[in-house]
Structure 1
């Protein structure tokens, strides 16, 4: 790996996710670099599919293909080459190659993320809660698994990796809660149709102003589910070193607060995008330090039972 590859990865994380960048600073140097390299690959793939640059604004990705399907095929090819240790000439995929070589990252988890982009390209209505969680795994849960491996969790430790997946699911569920109005404006609904129908809503009516109260009840259900996965994820903390646990719990609090704000502010919260102020992020980081020591060395106060939670197929 060249310095240019790492420099490009650091630029991607600084511009693409301030929350992730803040949490990653808590890692030791080696873990931080590997996490940053993994982020750069994930961010690049997401941008190519969404025709954006670092999550914002239109960008011309013509060399990757004229259509999302063509770009997806190119991403698969470059990902496979990177995982096989073959040169791609693309910094983001050189970053993935470095992570895979250093951590023994199983190819299946990178493939799971690419499959998540395929779901986005060939979008179908989300019918059930299980459909939603399957999607969330493929766009975020598998990233949690890869991050755990980057932090040193053995790929064979499926119990801890399931907790890492839980954290990724929690992040994505909170993101969906935050972005309901924004997603509706671009014609995309991630909320399960069965949940909408239970509140008397449909895909045609859920985003209407007169549906705000009912929609907020659906979103509250989403945030409640996110909290359940967040609580489960805490039971993976004892497998991490102190600084890693600190970073993970900081991120969990920052992302969890997004959903809790949407839930706590009532239907009016759906009118604009909720966000966490830098001051609140710093408070979350400060509070996570003693929490990390407590949970890692003493106990986790929430129940450890994962019965009923969505679990990746590790077979």
Structure 2
């Protein structure tokens, strides 16, 4: 199936094909639900999505690599080297790093603004030193680079039926919504890495601080104040999903099933967290397998129907229009963490 995707996308160079295969493997291994949604795209669009995911995942892995408490200079050096490789790849279309080679090729084929990749790298560098955010506004500033730009990168790949600038705010919002879902699910894991993505003022409004979160995780005991704060963060996230939802109809019809499936499954994280009693400090909430299968089947039916009914489209990839693409920290948008 990989060769079929690469052939359909017109990718013939052996080195490029190997780079795209590498990115696809990263997607299949780490972004299971995201990868499932990607399978609903027409075959010729999948390699570009894999390249965008692969690069974001690679950078995110560097930020979280070498173990908790590792020398931050080691991670910073690796991230700096990736940044240099990125600039070289975007400038010359060449790189010894597979994820950069595929990304640079995708950016060139689809006319993706290079500033989006630089903003993403800035957010990754912030994760090396910033361990929390005082306000939601501060958090949104970080998420511009870590999540919103991922949605914006997807715009030329997925195609739309409206001008790209009209769809862009919805694409950015859905990228943020995905990442907020991951933040809620991963509160405990992020805390172990020394980070708290829930805004400090939101926590303080319920009498919660980092020390109380640490106590709850270490003791395994639930705390009503923490649950109340998590519920508020969930409500905030649902509001972002609502603001992003109108953009789904702006997509090229053949891309809608992919994004709709991702939209439903990432939103399902919120349902899983609530169903598990907001125990995210103690265990990871999981979207039930049966639920994922049902959504995937629905997406497949929609994808087949869209392709059977597809005629000439104004929103083809590369056209001056864009989708409402759907985010840890680091997303179909992705944020480089699996949903399950």
3-state SS of the aligned residue for 1:205?
Answer: helix
Q: Which has the higher contact order (CA 8 A, sep 6+)?
A: 2
TM-superposed CA distance for 1:268, in Å, is 3.8
**Contact 2:213–2:226 (CA under 8 A) maintained in structure 1:** yes
3-state SS of the aligned residue for 2:94?
Answer: coil
Correspondence for 2:186 = 179
Q: Which runs of 5+ in 2 are unaligned?
A: 1-12, 307-340
Say yes or no: does 1:151 pair with 2:158: yes
> How many residue pairs align between the two structures?
287
TM-superposed CA distance for 1:239, in Å, is 2.3
Bigger drift between 170-179 and 201-210 goes to: 201-210
Correspondence for 1:226 = 237
Structure 1 pair 91–155 and aligned structure 2 pair: CA distance change class (3 A): farther
3-state SS of the aligned residue for 1:72?
Answer: helix
3-state SS of the aligned residue for 2:138?
Answer: helix
CA-atom RMSD in angstroms: 2.8
Structure 1 pair 120–66 and aligned structure 2 pair: CA distance change class (3 A): closer
Say yes or no: does 1:133 pair with 2:144: no
Match of 1:266 among 256, 274, 277: 277
Say yes or no: does 1:45 pair with 2:59: yes
Structure 1 pair 251–8 and aligned structure 2 pair: CA distance change class (3 A): same
Extract structure 1 runs of 4+ deviating beyond 3 A. 153-156, 267-270, 286-294
TM-superposed CA distance for 1:24, in Å, is 0.2
1:251 and 1:217 map into 2 onto residues whose CA distance is 27
TM-superposed CA distance for 1:288, in Å, is 4.8
Say yes or no: does 1:16 pair with 2:16: no
1:197 and 1:183 map into 2 onto residues whose CA distance is 18
1:223 and 1:287 map into 2 onto residues whose CA distance is 26
2:99 and 2:105 map into 1 onto residues whose CA distance is 10
**Contact 1:163–1:235 (CA under 8 A) maintained in structure 2:** yes
**Contact 2:161–2:250 (CA under 8 A) maintained in structure 1:** no
**Contact 2:51–2:99 (CA under 8 A) maintained in structure 1:** yes
Correspondence for 2:226 = 215
Structure-2-length-normalised TM-score: 0.77
Say yes or no: does 1:254 pair with 2:261: no
